[in-house]
Structure 1
Amino acid sequence: MSDVISEAVKVLTEKMSGVDIGGTVKFEIEGEGAIMVDDEGVRAGDDEADVTLSADPETFQGMMEGETNPTSAFMTGKLKIDGDMGMAMKLASALA
């Protein structure tokens, strides 16, 4: 597992504490790997998900640090979303 993925799992675990997602989300970080988030927690993995969010490492890191708004990243094409948009929006508000 890459350092980027390890750090992202740690940060996402803190951000998602107490958030009920109601499904499965996958973050795909270009060139690094994938992270799964569900009501069980956060882990490195590449399983099927209700919604997949894909971004380059810089965009993903910006979202984790609160410097990049997930909605703005999506609107400018830096974040791609495939699947349940409602779940993606719920996740975006939890990350903000």
Structure 2
Amino acid sequence: MTTTIMIFPTEAAKELKSTTVFKLLGGAMPTKGPELVKKMNAVVAFKIDGQVFTVDLKNGSGSVTEGEAGKADLTITVSDENFLQLVEGKLNSQMAFMSGKLKVGGNMGLAMKLGPILKAAGEGLPKPKL
């Protein structure tokens, strides 16, 4: 099994707040990847404000890369801000879809399994101070 953790060097990607989320998710792949691969068995492309991040939860113990990496089974199109709200649990994915804040392409059944990915992506994010 191989784990790929990509560093995102492009300036455009650095401008997105969600880049940090994908770095954290990539860093979590050695421990969380095998479980997520079992649950999803899919390649998911996230299109966020003109950038694409591919989460491969089909091969090996999973990987996260910037850009398109092969054919995605599921494509999620969402704004940077709405993606962060999804990951932080502030925005319900079903409500986001129904209101047009989130668009889904490909296997809709896989979209229903996104919860574990979003949860894993949100772990490690700084918690807001109350």
Q: Give the TM-score band, short-chain normalised.
A: 0.7 to 0.9
Report the TM-score when normalising by structure 2. 0.63
| Equivalent residue pairs, number | 94
Aligned counterparts of 1:85 and 1:73: Cα–Cα separation in 2: 14
Q: How far is the alpha carbon of 1:46 from its aligned partner? A: 1.7
Report the TM-score when normalising by structure 1. 0.82
Deviates more, 1:69-78 or 1:5-14: 5-14
Identity of aligned residues (%): 35
Supply the RMSD in Å over aligned alpha carbons. Answer: 2.1
Q: How far is the alpha carbon of 1:24 from its aligned partner? A: 0.6
C-alpha distance 73-11 of structure 1, shift in aligned 2 (>3 A): farther
Gaps of 5+ in 2: 1-9, 120-130
Matches within 5 A, 1:9-28: 9-13=22-26, 14=28, 17=32, 18-20=35-37, 21-28=40-47
Q: After the TM superposition, which parts of structure 1 deviate over 6 Å for at least 4 consecutive aligned residues? A: none
| 1:51 is the counterpart of 2:69 | no
Q: Is the 8 A contact 1:12 1:64 kept in 2?
A: no
Q: How far is the alpha carbon of 1:8 from its aligned partner? A: 2.6
C-alpha distance 41-26 of structure 1, shift in aligned 2 (>3 A): same
Partner SS state of residue 113, structure 2: helix
Gaps of 5+ in 1: none
Question: CA offsets per residue over residues 9-62 of structure 1, 9 Å max, x none?
Answer: 12434499231220110000013x111112222221223201100011111111
Aligned counterparts of 1:64 and 1:11: Cα–Cα separation in 2: 12
- Which of 1 and 2 has greater Rg? 2
